[in-house]
Amino acid sequence: MAFSYTFLIIVLLYVVEIEQSVGFPPEGPPQLPVPPHWHNAPSSLNDYPVVNDSYVVDPWNYQQRLGLYKILLEVTKPLLKEFGYNNTGNILWGLPLQFGWQYRTGRLEEPSRIRFDDGQRDISSNSWWGCMNYYLSVIPFFGAVRANYFGNVTVVMEPPTLHSALFCMTVESCSNQRTWAALSRWTDFFLKIRSNPLTNKVSMDMEKLDTYLGYMWAGHVASSRAAEPLFPKLLKLIPEQEANFGVGWDNIVYFIAAARIWTSENVTNNAQELYLPPRMLRNGDKLPNIPDFTKTENIATAGIELVDKMNKFSDGGLLSIWKDLMCSWQSREVGFKLMNDLFGNNKEVLKDLVLLVGTIIKTCLI
């Protein structure tokens, strides 16, 4: 165990070393409050066509898939309103904002094309990002359908152009062995927030927020685990640098989930605009010195890949240590600060580690 914690400290210090070696000046990111085309996306099931008494959604059309997120935010708004003004604190914001970042940076496109075509299907079923995101959009939505958020309705997804056997199209077909765990976790989340909504308090109950985040992140992790084995061939269609980043980003989400980071509109916007690459990585990109990336984007992208490599090198030990450290909602708050400071303010990392140890002693060991 002592070796394991020493290994974690070495990884943290190495990330700090990357930051100190990068010579690009930091830049302030633009604030993007909602995903692209948010206001044109469907906001109700009634905005989708009805065929044979079923609502039909084309999840390979960006705006139609985006509408699934918009509807989820709308139906959960009364249940989560104490989290922030005008639904900005809703913990589901992370999903559509991440999807919007994928769209904006070209990650949903057909890998062989540079630009979107003018057709209605602007999410390629050859896009690794687009296919992975299916499990983080359609499955959560079906979880809400299964939790009876829309009454007795039937919703059917149109199949993709390619690889249709890898996707379920209805609640019933998503109840198979591959997707059952994810569908169940998302159903549990929607049932939980409806059974005990935060609507009667003047101020937020941070412990209850942490509980809800635990349910939400459990759904996220289950969706990722269901999708991960399905699309390795699609990684070969994109540059190796982008494939490495994609796999690394998928891995870092498990660390984020363990910390139960509050995926509000502001937190998610600030984090992904500061840290995530503004375009797909290309052949010839050399991290952490890509000229058209900011200093912080270079550091974070390199750090994400490093954590993935170190976690694989330790056979998952790094993630196991991190999960052990995230043993209370108070330690998870400190863990969130530590993750931010690793990529943005490394002078605070040592203080964060000391604070984390003290918090664990107070909240987990006593």
| pLDDT-wise least confident of 31-45, 121-135, 267-281, 340-354 | 340-354
Cα angle, residue 16 at apex, residues 210 and 338 outer, rounded to 5°: 15
Half-sphere CA count of 254, side-chain side, radius 13 A: 20
Tell me the one-letter amino acid at 166. Answer: L
The three-state secondary structure class of 155 is strand
Beta bridge partners of 56: 156
Tell me the one-letter amino acid at 50. Answer: V
Q: Are 303 and 317 in contact (CB under 8 A)?
A: no
Half-sphere CA count of 83, side-chain side, radius 13 A: 29
Give the pLDDT of residue 345. 64
Range 130-155 average pLDDT: 98
Confidence of residue 27 (pLDDT cuts 50, 70, 90): very low
Distance in angstroms (rounded) separating the CA atoms of residues 233 and 29: 34
What is the phi/psi pair of residue 51, to 5°? -130, 125
CA proximity to 174, closest of 138, 150, 218: 138
Confidence of residue 3 (pLDDT cuts 50, 70, 90): very low
User: Does the structure show a pLDDT above 60 at 23?
Assistant: no
User: Does the structure show a pLDDT above 90 at 121?
Assistant: no
What is the phi/psi pair of residue 54, to 5°? -125, 140
Distance in angstroms (rounded) separating the CA atoms of residues 101 and 62: 12
Range 124-136 average pLDDT: 97
What is the phi/psi pair of residue 266, to 5°? -70, -45
**Pairwise pLDDT comparison (179 vs 13), residue with the higher score:** 179
Give the pLDDT of residue 25. 37
- This prediction has a pTM of 0.89
| Average pLDDT across the chain, whole number | 88
**Pairwise pLDDT comparison (24 vs 295), residue with the higher score:** 295
Give the count of beta carbons closer than 10 Å to the beta carbon of residue 200: 6
Q: Extract the runs of DSSP E, i.e. beta strands, from 151-200.
A: 155-157
Distance in angstroms (rounded) separating the CA atoms of residues 139 and 219: 9
What is the phi/psi pair of residue 155, to 5°? -120, 130
- Structure confidence by residue, pLDDT tens digits, 144-169: 999 999 999 999 999 999 999 999 99
